[in-house]
Amino acid sequence: MMFFNYKYRYLFILLLALYTYINTELCQVYTYFQINIHWYYSFLIILLITFFTWEANRLLAKPFENLFPGNEKVIRRSIIFFFSGLVVSYLATIGTDLFFAEVVLHEKPESILNPLKLTLIYASLINLLFHLLNLVVVYQEKFKAKELEAEELKRMHAQAELMAIKQQINPHFLFNNLNVLSGLVMQQSADANNFIEAFSKVYMHILANHNKELIELKKELDFLEPYLFLLKQRFPESLQISVEVPNKYYNYYVVPVALQMLVENAIKHNVVSRKKPLSIKIYANGNSTLSVINNLQPRNETGPSSNIGLNNIQKRYILTAGKEITIEKKPDTFSVNLPLIEINTYESINN
């Protein structure tokens, strides 16, 4: 509710009171309602009512933000806030009119009936004006926040795309896979053609889906198949990967390349050898989440892990679907649970 804390609020109050007084004079309101009052008293009353209405709402703004936090309760908060401000402005108006009638003008309280009606109407209108302007500011800030989220999502998406591509085309990756391919060719193995085909499918998937925020789980699993084939050729008898996802989950959405990044993350941080094979399991656990779990056999790393990949996936899920991944580390296993996004939810996000 930053509107009521506007730094030039007192100048705004003065100009609004002056504007209102000029209009009452132009419309001859005091003559029409037979109100006999000096112009300076009239202007002062209008100014005080404007001031008290603004200040009352300014003081109420903070408690209402604490009672109704977040953007989800804007309408409810605004309605209750408006009526609370209206009640306080009425009390301030009545107090101001009575003070001027008895203390300044020395008139009987019953003589202020018409002026009181007019000032109460004025208090209602300016209270409504203030709250409408406040709503404009609130929704403008909300719109700016959404724009910032969209920009952050684009940045994270570009970062994820770059990370995925770098993981695939870095010299180490190319060297390892070209060594595997060279060995297959030298052995005149039939798997050489399959290896080349899988290699091309991995790149085609990344290029085809680089601009998407979410992707169907079926397409992500189709991409994962050639990727896992490359890994199994690279780590024969050292890597055991199983995928158990029923067809009923295929129409859900996930973040693109998330599964590949989790598999790569497991290989990066664990020993993979024939003596100590790495086991990775990908399965739907029945509560609208997809789990990737591996046995723990950590490498002897020189420094702490930066968790860039996991943080990246987490932020993309939060910005895209408003959901979070969960990470579970046990003595023998490490698992990451990815939320499965329903199609209608994803469509509503994009619409």
Q: What average pLDDT does the segment 290-312 reach?
A: 79
What pLDDT is stored for residue 39 in this prediction? 83
Q: Hunting for tokens 């709250």 — which residue is that?
A: 131
Q: Hunting for tokens 């703004």 — which residue is that?
A: 61
Model confidence at 119: pLDDT above 70: yes
What pLDDT is stored for residue 139 in this prediction? 82
Q: Give the distance, in angstroms, between the CA of residue 252 and the centroid of all CA atoms in the same chain.
A: 21
What pLDDT is stored for residue 339 in this prediction? 93
Query: Among 124-133, 151-160, 218-227, 327-336, which is the least confidently predicted range?
Result: 151-160
Dist. CA 224–CA 170, nearest whole Å: 19
What pLDDT is stored for residue 60 in this prediction? 85
Alpha helices by DSSP H, 187-307:
191-208, 217-234, 258-269
Residues 159, 256 contacting (CB under 8 angstroms): no
Q: What average pLDDT does the segment 160-178 reach?
A: 55
Q: What average pLDDT does the segment 176-189 reach?
A: 60
Q: What average pLDDT does the segment 297-318 reach?
A: 76
Dist. CA 266–CA 258, nearest whole Å: 12
Average pLDDT, the chain: 80
Look up the pTM and report it. 0.51
Model confidence at 326: pLDDT above 80: yes
| pLDDT tens-digit series, residues 56-80 | 888 888 887 777 776 667 777 888 8
Model confidence at 209: pLDDT above 50: yes
Structure confidence at residue 348 as a pLDDT band (50, 70, 90) = very low
Residues 82, 124 contacting (CB under 8 angstroms): no
Model confidence at 337: pLDDT above 90: yes
Identify which has the larger pLDDT, 38 or 175.
38
| pLDDT tens-digit series, residues 232-289 | 877 888 999 999 999 999 999 998 888 888 988 898 889 999 999 999 999 998 778 9
Identify the structural domains of the chain with CATH numbers, from first to last: 2-146 (no CATH), 170-350 (3.30.565.10)
| 212: exposed, middle or buried (Cβ count in 10 Å: 0-12, 13-18, 19+) | middle
Q: What average pLDDT does the segment 133-140 reach?
A: 84
Model confidence at 161: pLDDT above 80: no
What pLDDT is stored for residue 242 in this prediction? 92
| pLDDT tens-digit series, residues 89-113 | 899 888 888 888 777 777 776 667 7
Model confidence at 25: pLDDT above 50: yes
Model confidence at 171: pLDDT above 60: no
Structure confidence at residue 333 as a pLDDT band (50, 70, 90) = very high
Structure confidence at residue 346 as a pLDDT band (50, 70, 90) = very low
Residue positions counted in the chain: 351
Q: How many of the other CB atoms lie within 10 Å of CB of 97? A: 22
Percent of the chain with pLDDT over 90: 20
